[in-house]
Structure formats: structure tokens, C-alpha cells
Structure 1
Amino acid sequence: MGYVFIVRWRGIAASCFLMLLSCLLPLRAGAEESLDVKLQIENQLTRLLSQEIAQWQRQAGLKSVEHNIEVRVPSGAAKLKLCPEPLLIDTGSGLVFGNVQRKVLCASQAWSLFVRAKVKVTARLPVANRAMKRGEFIGAQDIEWHPIVLGASDRDLLTKTDDIIGRQVNRKLRRHRAIQLHHLNAPQWVNIGDRVIIEARSQGFYANMAGEALESGGEGEAIRVKNLSSGKVITAFPTAKGRVTTVF
């Protein structure tokens, strides 16, 4: 009788254990799947943002750029199924500085959501080593390289000293702050009396000749230039220091 009791107790215990295990397994599997979706989103979005930062670094011609990306996946991702193919992620229209948001989509599982990320970018940039007032001209002695933490408002950055030195301050420059395009006046490529190279283009035709500037001007400004060969005065547009272009 005692033997029968032991068998029945073990059978009941085994049945309870199996029932408990069957109840826990779906929950655990679901938790693991939601964790995989979260990691999938984090990994792919981090990779994409890193690539965009690397592309900007190449375009800016910078050697030293560091970044840290913190992806914030919404809690709703816990209800999503793992995407069997690479996620589709919208590309951004602006620079990847500060807080960004991207739409993430899985076509086969028919789900999409917006994911935010906090992107901290530190770049070594040419900056003013002192506060500079409007009207001052920037010399080589006024510039030094300094690590700058960039934010969402840092647009149109000047990342090369050639684009800064020699230009006039249009808005007050603060010491060790990123210099943006609107901080400086357009470069004065040509001054009155300068000898210039006139470049002429027309439907595949190209020629260049010597000229003399009769007016001063910066990029995109129309100025009068005298062709030293013919003596003719034409309208041309400065394109670089000592160079102007005209179209016939």
C-alpha cells in the first residue's frame, strides 16, 4: 500500500512540474524574442548612425572624431516578432548630432515604430582661441584646434582653416566654440586692381585669359573685369582667390 502511495505521489508531482514548466516556457520564449527584437533594433540603428557619422567625417575632412550612440527602443517593441531580414530604417535629412529619431520597419512581420537615439559627437575643429568681435579679420594666429561636443544646432560647420583664415567676422565668435558659415562674411576673393584669371565656358568650350578686376567681390557676386588682351570690360563672378568666370 505504501508503495502504491509513493508511485501516485511521484506521478502527481511530475504532472504538476510538467504543467508548471509548460506555463513558464511560452513566457520565457516570448521574453527572449522581445529581447532579440530590441537588440536587433539597437544594433542595426547604431550601425547606420555610425556610418552616417563616418560619411560626414570624410566629407568634412576631419581626422579626429569620436561618437557615442544611445538607442532608446520603445516599450512597444516587447510585442513585436523578430524580423527575419534586415530592418528598413529611414535615413535622416540632417547631421547626426544630439537627439535623432528614425522610423524602423520590418516588412515581413508588418510592423514599424519610431525609435529615438541620443548621439554624442566630439570632433577636433579649428576654433578661435579668443573672443572676436564683428568686423575683425581672422588671422592664422587666432586659430587653434580644439575638441568640440557638437549638438543639433551645429550646422554648416567650417572644418578647414583655409575656409576661415582671412575672412571677416560677421557675428561675434566665442572662444573655443564651433565656427559656422553664418559667423563669417563671404570671402573677398578679388579686390580692385587685382590681376585675375578669367575663365570662359560655353557648351563644352573653355578658355582662360588674363584680366584686371575693376571692382571687389566675393563668391557669387557680379563684378566688372577688364580683359587685358582685348581691352573689353565684361561681367564675371569670382570663384576663388584671383579667379573669375564668365559665360558667353
Structure 2
Amino acid sequence: MLAMTFSVRADLAGELSRAAEQRLAHYANEHDWLPYQAGFSPWLPAGASRLPECAQPVRFEPAQAGDAPWGRVPWLIHCPDDPGWTTRARVEVSVHLPVWVARERLRREQELSASVLQLKSLSLERLHRGFIAGRQPPKQRLLRDLPAGEPLYPALLAPRWLVKKNEQVVIEAQGNGFTVTTQGLALTNGSEGELIRVRNIDSEKIIQARVVAGNRVQSLR
């Protein structure tokens, strides 16, 4: 919530734009955005110019605090005087931000790296499925094919497999103060924390085990 003392007959629109700019900057810092370009177009109702002057600091807050700070963002402007007033407003926030896109056609289950991705500045208002930003590319895998030049988005990504089908793994069995290891063969893929089927190479027994690290699983007691 932002507060500032000024006559309501002053430029409320300018103050509203600055509040929206500060909110966007805070979000960008929290999410490790690269430098971006933003524009702010405030709108206030016609009656705003006739509001009584506010003796106390006027407060600006987003009408829906959990919403993204770009696009069409509704705001509330409060005067806490007694009696005070509240008016609705909005700011059209346009943002161009470097986001991660496919450098080439990518395939389902492909593991991502900097060699197959690149940063491209795009308008966030057009990325309705979301986007992936930040200084480092995501170290994840794709859930479906992605054409060259298309942006990544959260629902497209999943954790990398730490264990892959038909690869040898180390099976850990823990007891009271001790750990026994043996060799196994993964029968399914698995990411960290997932349960997979593993064949114990010595006993030929098939067990359920939890993936704990690369090519390493922990048997269930």
C-alpha cells in the first residue's frame, strides 16, 4: 500500500501511474527479471476531479492484490479522512520482457539447456498461458513439442528425470543407524521424490522405491 499527501485536485493520474510502476518494479525484483520496458496508462472516473480534498495521506492499492501487475489492473484510491472517500481507477500496464523461447524445434521429453533456448523480448499481455523469465534457462523437460520461436510457459515444463527407464541405479535400504546399498535396474522413469518400479539385480525382485538423487533410489520399508 502506498501513501502520499497531496490535494485530490492535483494529478491523481500521475500518482496512480507511479504506484503501478513501483508495484511492477517490486514484482520484477522478486522474480529476478532482466531489464524490461513498461508503459502506464491510468484511467480515473470523471467524478474524481470533484472529490473533496484529503487532509491525510491518500492511499493507493490494487483492487485485487493477487493479480499480475501488468495488463488492465484495477486500483482503489482511499482518503482515510472522517468522512473520507474511495474511488475506483485502473492502469493499463504494458510490459515487454525478455522471456525464454525455443531456439529450434523441441521435442516432448527433451531436457532443456541454454543451447536450445534463447531470450526474446515479448509483450506479456499476449502471453496468456504465462511465460518463463529470469537470467538462467529452466533446467527442466518438456511435456509436449514446442515449435522454434515459441515461448516456454509453466504448464509445458516438468522436473527432469533423475532416473531413466532401463538404466542401472543404486538402491538404498535404511535401517536403525545403517544403510545397505545394492544395484538395481529402473523399470520406469522418475523425478525427485517420485515412486518408481525397480528390479533388484541380485534377487530379481521388483520393488517400489523413491527417487532421491541421480540414479539413486531408496526402497520403501
**Which category of TM-score, normalised to the shorter sequence, fits these structures?**
0.5 to 0.7
In structure 2, the residue matched to 1:78 is: 49
Choose from 58, 73, 83 the match for 2:29: 58
One-letter code of the match for 2:20?
A: L
Shift of 1:209: 8.4
Deviation at residue 225 of structure 1 after TM alignment: 5.8
Say which structure is richer in strand: 2
Q: Secondary structure at the match of 2:161?
A: coil
Structure 2: distance between partners of 1:188 and 1:171: 17
CA positional deviation for 1:119: 0.3
CA shift for structure 1 position 115 = 0.7
Q: Which has the higher helix share?
A: 1
Tell me which of 89, 110, 117 is aligned to 2:61: 89
CA contact (8 A) 1:68 1:119 kept: yes
Instruction: Count residues with an aligned counterpart.
Output: 203
CA RMSD of aligned residues (A): 4.0
In 2, distance between residues paired with 1:191 and 1:40? 59
Structure-1-length-normalised TM-score: 0.62
Q: TM-score, normalised by structure 2?
A: 0.68
- The residue number in structure 1 matching 2:100 is 126
* Residue 224 to residue 145, structure 1, CA distance change in 2 (3 Å): same
Please state if 1:157 is matched with 2:131: yes
**Structure 1: runs of 5+ lacking an equivalent:** 1-32, 201-206
Per-residue deviation at 1:151? 0.8
CA contact (8 A) 1:171 1:182 kept: no
Residue of structure 2 equivalent to 1:182: 155
C-alpha spacing 1:208/1:227, structure 2 compared with 1 (3 Å): farther
Distance in 2 (alpha carbons) for counterparts of 1:245 and 1:47: 53
Report which of the two structures shows the higher radius of gyration computed on alpha carbons.
1
Contact 1:189 1:241 (8 Å CA) reproduced? yes
**Residue pair 1:98, 1:151 contacting (<8 A) in 2 also:** yes
Q: Secondary structure at the match of 1:163?
A: coil
Sort the Cα spacing of 1:185 and 1:118 in 2 relative to 1 into closer, same or farther, 3 A. Answer: same
1:146 aligns with 2:120: yes
CA 1:210 to 1:35, structure 2 compared with 1: closer, same or farther past 3 Å? farther
Name the residue aligned to 2:17.
Answer: 46
Tell me which of the two structures has the higher relative contact order, counting C-alpha pairs closer than 8 angstroms and 6 or more residues apart.
Answer: 2
Q: Secondary structure at the match of 1:146?
A: strand
* Matched position secondary structure for 2:9: helix
Q: Percent identity?
A: 19
Deviations 1:27-75 (A, max 9, x none): xxxxxx5531xx24531x3333223322332333222222121111111
Return the letter of the residue paired with 1:183.
L
Q: 2: distance between equivalents of 1:42 and 1:208?
A: 65
Amino acid at match of 1:112: T
| 3-state SS of paired residue (1:81) | coil
In the alignment, structure 2 segments of 5+ residues that lack a partner are 1-6
Q: Distance in 1 between matches of 2:78 and 2:92?
A: 20
Q: Deviations over 1:47-105 (max 9, x none)?
A: 33223322332333222222121111111101102322131423521212211112222
Task: Work out whether 1:222 is the aligned partner of 2:195.
Answer: yes
